[in-house]
Every structure is written in C-alpha cells, then in structure tokens.
Structure 1
Amino acid sequence: MFGGDLGIYFRASGSNWQAAARPPPEYPAISREQYLRIEQDNDFTISLELWLKGHSAYTHQEVIPRSTMDTTDKPLPSYSELLAKKLKRPPPETKTLRLPQPSKEFLAQKDGSRGNFLIHDFYGCSVTLYPDDTVVKSGRKVHLDEKDALDLAAKLNIPAPRAYEASADSAGIVSIRMDYIEGESLEDLWPDMSEGDRQDICGQLREIISTMQSVESETGVIGSCGGGFFRECRRMGEYTGGPFQDEAGFNNYVTKLIGTTPTDINRALHSQLRTDHRIVFAHGDLSQHNIIVKDMKIAGIIDWEFAGWAPEYWEYVKFFEVQAKNTDWREYAKYIFPQTYYDQLATFQGVLRWGVP
C-alpha cells in the first residue's frame, strides 16, 4: 500500500516531491514511473495510478536522491490519511482518538458537586458527561437518526444508552442526550482477559446480534431506522447513500468501482451479489472500543451512528472492515456471529480493493 506496506511516503513541497521514510534497501529513491512499475510488479493493493492521476501536487516526476530524504522522527500521514484529507473526509483513525476517561472516584460523586466532563471531542463530534450521569453527543457529524436506532435498541432490550431527547439547531448542530454507560472498553480490557472471559464476552455479543437480526424491516427499505440515508464507515471515511427501496439499488451503491477496474473483475463482483437477503437491524461498527464492559458483562454498546436496516450479512462483513487494535479480535468471529457469510465477505473484500475511495 502506498505509504503503508511499502514504507515510503511522499508529500508535496512546492513543485518537488519530498520523501520522508526509512525505505528498505530493495526500494531506493525512485521516480513516479519507477514507483508505478514496482506497484504493478508486486501486486500491491492500492493503485497508485488512481492516487496520482489528476492530482498535480502529487505527480511531479522526479528522481529523489536518498541524500535529500527527510529523516525526521515525526510521524507522517499514511496513504489513508492523505487520501481522506484530499477527499475532505475524516481521517480513518478518528474513532480511536479519546480523551482521558472519568475516574471511578469522579463518577462516585453523586452530591451534585461534580462538574461536566468532556469525554470526546474530535472532528465534528463531542461527548460531554453531565452530573446526572447523562451525556450529550453533539456536532455536525452527529445525526438525528442515531436516536431512532437507540430507541429500537431499547425496545429490544439491547444493552445500549437510553436516549432521552434529540434536537438540531439552525446551524445544523445535532445534539442527543443519552445515558452514560459506565465501564471500560473491550479494546482496553482484551489483552489481559483470560480465554474463558473472552469467549464469554463473545457469547454475550452473539446473543445481542441474534436479537438484532431477528427484527426485519417492515418496509424492506435499506437505510436508517428513521427512514433516512444509509450510512457506513469504510477505511477511507464515512459514506452515505439511499435510502434504497430494494437490495438491487443497494448493490449498485456498494459496487461503485474505480474506472480502471478490469471488466472481468467488475463483472465477477456484480455476479456474486444477491437480492434476496433479509433486511435486518444492524449496528454497523462493532469495534471493540464501542463495546463497554463492566464486571465481565457487556454493559452497553455505544456509537450507533451507522446503525439501521441492512442486509443480514452486513454486520458480519463490516466486522472485518472496522479497525482492530487487537489484531486477534477478528479470529473470534466464529464465536460472535450466529451465521457466517463467506461468499459475501469475499465479494466485499474485492469491493474494498476496487471500490471508489
């Protein structure tokens, strides 16, 4: 991957390229044409031609002497970060950035002396904890549809924040007041958990998913719980479409491929898509940091902004796309999901490879 697997990053500096990396010996300083040949010869997963074409700031043709390389230790943006910035989308790492969380001592103050506590504040979304043990999630990246999803979760007795009110102001800032879920994220707890505790948590999550997938859309529409847009999170940011009246329309949305996709690959991906799946309730972002655990029980699942009505395979497929700080998390899919969807998973891995960024 450009700037990732290869280990070389390019950034614009005036009219020249400036390289900043510690490339392995087999990849010396190279020109754009040489780089494209390397990418082609080694079958990397991202087409550099797509990235470079039409973006003059990144397509200057020049061999970069190794002596001019910037050897600074300052972290450099990855390919995903650069592309997200170019497309004016949130950086893919935003969901892992958190402020210090309130201590048990702070939460124990129930006499009204406790002040507000900012839990999260990044890229159009802030979460503030109030003395009454509710939080207000607000910002331009917050949507009223999330309350509809939380309401449905409450109706199904899914462990999730209870939503009390939602509003939007004239500037487009949406605010949702909901319960604060006390506990620790599964992401933080996972490394020190015993195998028995891990499988127990996975079993709890399996029951939750089974309950959600038992509820089908009454209209068959694929979109938010409130009948609005379908939202999803991919590696390059957030995507919106629909709502879709049927699965055929949804399939056209998810298989928008780049123009350089070989015809046979395009046809192969489309040929694998079906239109007869059940349309069920899905969270859409079952990352470990969205699963709050207390006393080895799932206290709540948070961040329902991508929840809605989706084909029955959606939760399973997205599980393998969302970020996983603990790399063995995906190996526990067999304990989490009541049903596997191997054909759909293979198809969507192809969509990830060739989909429009």
Structure 2
Amino acid sequence: MTKLVLPKPGQTLFRFDLQSSRRPPLFALILKRVLRIVPCSWRASVYQACTRNQHIHTRITSRVFRLPFGLVLKTFSELPVEADALKLVESLRGIHTPYLVDYTSLDSRGFLLTTWVEGETLGHAWDRLSATDKQRVVVDLRSQFDQMRQQTISSPPRPRMICNASDGPINDPRIPWVGEENAQTFQAPPQFAEQVWIGLDWKNNRDTLKPLLQPLIDRPDVHVVFSHGDLLPKNLILPGGLTKWRSSSSLDDSTKITIIDWEFAGWMPNFWDSLKATWMECEADTEWTEMIRCIFPECAVELDADWQWRSRSRVTILA
C-alpha cells in the first residue's frame, strides 16, 4: 500500500484559490432564466419525453440521461433533496459541483437538470492513480470539505437540527433503521449518534463496545455542518479525465474535482462524511480509508470507533 503524506495543519501540498468557483456555461445561465417563466407541468412533460426518446438522450444509468448542449437529466420518485443541496452549495465558495439548471416534478416523479461534467470518475481511474495523484486528490477534497464546513458550521449549545437538505427526515442507507417507516429529524448530535451505533446494550457489546462508543455518543461539543453524505470514488469526477487532469496545473480552478450525487446531503454531525465514505470498506486500512483519514484528520477517533462497531457489533446493515 502506498503511504500517503498527510499535510500538517495549515500546510497544503498544492495551493488553491478558495475564493473562486467554476463559472457555469453561458448557455446554462440563459436556459435557467428562460425555464423560470415556463410552467412546471410543461417543463416536466418535456423532461419526461426526453427520457423516452432514445434519439435525444444517452442513458448513463437507469435514471440518469445525458442530453445535448452539455446537460444531464436525473429522475427521482419524488422532488429530490439533491436540488436543495445543490442550491445551497452553489451559494458557498470553493465547492465544485454540477450547475443546477432546473428541477420540477410531475405525477410524483421528480426531474433534476444540471450541467454535464466531462471527465472520469475517481473510481474508474482508481487502478491508474499514482501516489502523487492520490495526494493531490486528498488535498483538493480536504480543501473543498474544509470550506463547506467553515461556511455552514452550527455549534453547541444550540446546533442546527439534523435533517436532510430539504429540512426533512433522514433516510440514509447507513442507518436503514431510520428510514421510510421511522423517518425523523434529530434535535442534537447525541440523539443521532445513538442511531448510528445501535446494539450497544446487547450482551456481546455491553462490556466491549459500549465503553468505547458511549462517550462519543454523549459528547456535547459536536458541531453540525452541511454534509455530502455519499463521498465515494464513483461520485468524484476528474475534469477532462485522468490524463488531462494529471497534466494540468493544480492551481487551475477548472481542474478541481467535481463532487456529484448530493441526494443524501444534509445537516449532519461533522463526523458523518468520514463515516459514510468508509462504511462499505471491509478492512480497516484500505487505501481509500487512509485517504479519508487524510481528508478528515479531525475524525480519526470516530473512524476508529466506527470500524470497531462495524466489525464487532454483529449488527447487519441491510440498505
């Protein structure tokens, strides 16, 4: 395994202009303004027709369609949380996402129209990444998530309610027991953490995991921040593809990694993105886990504790 070099606090391997943001294409800006005056039902009907016409779209997944003019259409069973997440993130500095052009719904089916980001996902390029590439990824993502946290932090003693990006109930595959049948928001991090690490009173966990995790659950000083909620290699795009990204300057704002798929975003405890990024890892020290530790160095204790819980608690997560 390649050993990653973690920058010291205040140190970066590459310098970023944190005040700048990637400007959306002029066409997308104009289209967004035009669509504002078109009735919702008309827009939804057009989007629905686009999903059915194979001459218009290129199907990426079962609910993601690439359209002409640098656009991508995403469908949902209902109006997406992702739209509210993108609206919020676009108001922040230093976070790179697709540009939200429009969102609407028809007959309980939601449509999200954004700009298409040409490139290659980190997951697709993973086996070809060098140690230098991975260090650059770490510093880029650490910068973006630090910026998002700094601009959205909600501190004790009255932190913001824990909820999805639409201020609604949490529905996340990491905690399926808090889902559609038991959907809820949480007033404070301790109440949420109790649902993250369940089963501590079971006989096999009472004297082993509970002493480790209960102090983390009960902490009164956990901040609530806006979180992506699905930080995985498949949701990170290297603009232009690996070769172009690698040959570009790290100072070029247009080459910053684009973070996509914000449907699980919300206001969460500050450790949540690190836990969600590693919850499907089957070993404690995978290369991706080590990168996440470098991106979120302040979450080391929670990452260690979560691995102990996932590997020893006997709780099965059926998403």
> TM-score per shorter chain, which class?
0.5 to 0.7
AA aligned to 2:294 is Y
Q: Which residue of 259, 264, 267 corresponds with 1:306?
A: 264
SS of the residue corresponding to residue 171 of structure 2 reads: strand
Q: Which residue of 1 aligns with 2:287?
A: 328
Q: Give the alignment's TM-score, normalised by structure 2.
A: 0.65
Q: Which residue of 69, 73, 76 corresponds with 1:132?
A: 69
Distance 1:212 1:318 in 2: 17
Q: Is the 8 A contact 2:200 2:210 kept in 1?
A: no
AA aligned to 2:238 is V
Q: Which residue of 316, 331, 338 corresponds with 2:274?
A: 316
In the alignment, does 2:237 pair up with 1:292? yes
In the alignment, does 2:81 pair up with 1:145? yes
Q: Which residue of 2 aligns with 1:216?
A: 153
Distance 2:73 2:237 in 1: 17
Q: Which residue of 1 aligns with 2:172?
A: 232
Identity %: 26
Q: Deviations over 1:22-70 (max 9, x none)?
A: xxxxxxxxxxxxxxxxxxxxxxxxxxxxxxxxxxxxxxxxxxxxxxxxx
Distance 2:177 2:266 in 1: 18
The alpha carbon displacement at 1:151 in A equals 1.1
Structure 2 residues not aligned, in runs of 5+: 1-54, 246-254
Q: Which residue of 1 aligns with 2:207?
A: 264
Q: Which residue of 297, 303, 309 corresponds with 1:345?
A: 303
Distance 1:199 1:162 in 2: 27
The alpha carbon displacement at 1:345 in A equals 2.0
The alpha carbon displacement at 1:230 in A equals 2.0
AA aligned to 1:209 is F
- Which structure has greater helix proportion? 2
Aligned pairs for 1:129-208 within 5 A: 129-140=66-77, 144-157=80-93, 158-170=95-107, 172-208=108-144
Q: Deviations over 1:303-330 (max 9, x none)?
A: 1111111111111222221469xx5222
C-alpha distance 246-175 of structure 1, shift in aligned 2 (>3 A): same
Q: Deviations over 1:274-322 (max 9, x none)?
A: 2321100111111111100023233411111111111111112222214
Q: Which residue of 1 aligns with 2:197?
A: 255
AA aligned to 2:273 is E
Distance 1:198 1:178 in 2: 28
SS of the residue corresponding to residue 310 of structure 1 reads: strand
Q: Give the alignment's TM-score, normalised by structure 1.
A: 0.59
Q: Deviations over 1:248-298 (max 9, x none)?
A: 321232233288553334643334312321100111111111100023233
The alpha carbon displacement at 1:217 in A equals 4.2
Q: Which has the higher Rg, Structure 1 or Structure 2? A: 1
AA aligned to 2:306 is F
Q: Is the 8 A contact 2:149 2:225 kept in 1?
A: yes
Q: Is the 8 A contact 2:104 2:111 kept in 1?
A: yes
Q: Which residue of 2 aligns with 1:115?
A: 56
The alpha carbon displacement at 1:356 in A equals 5.7
Distance 1:266 1:331 in 2: 23
Q: Is the 8 A contact 1:143 1:305 kept in 2?
A: no
Distance 1:213 1:322 in 2: 24
The alpha carbon displacement at 1:136 in A equals 1.4
SS of the residue corresponding to residue 191 of structure 1 reads: helix
The alpha carbon displacement at 1:220 in A equals 1.0
The alpha carbon displacement at 1:144 in A equals 2.1
Q: Is the 8 A contact 1:258 1:355 kept in 2?
A: no
Distance 2:231 2:79 in 1: 18
Q: Which residue of 2 aligns with 1:91?
A: none
SS of the residue corresponding to residue 208 of structure 1 reads: helix
Distance 2:258 2:123 in 1: 14
SS of the residue corresponding to residue 341 of structure 1 reads: helix
Q: Is the 8 A contact 2:175 2:196 kept in 1?
A: no
Q: Is the 8 A contact 1:181 1:299 kept in 2?
A: no
Q: Is the 8 A contact 2:168 2:185 kept in 1?
A: yes
Q: Which has the higher contact order (CA 8 A, sep 6+)?
A: 2
Q: Deviations over 1:151-191 (max 9, x none)?
A: 12211141111222222333x32221111111000112222
C-alpha distance 120-315 of structure 1, shift in aligned 2 (>3 A): same
The alpha carbon displacement at 1:129 in A equals 1.1
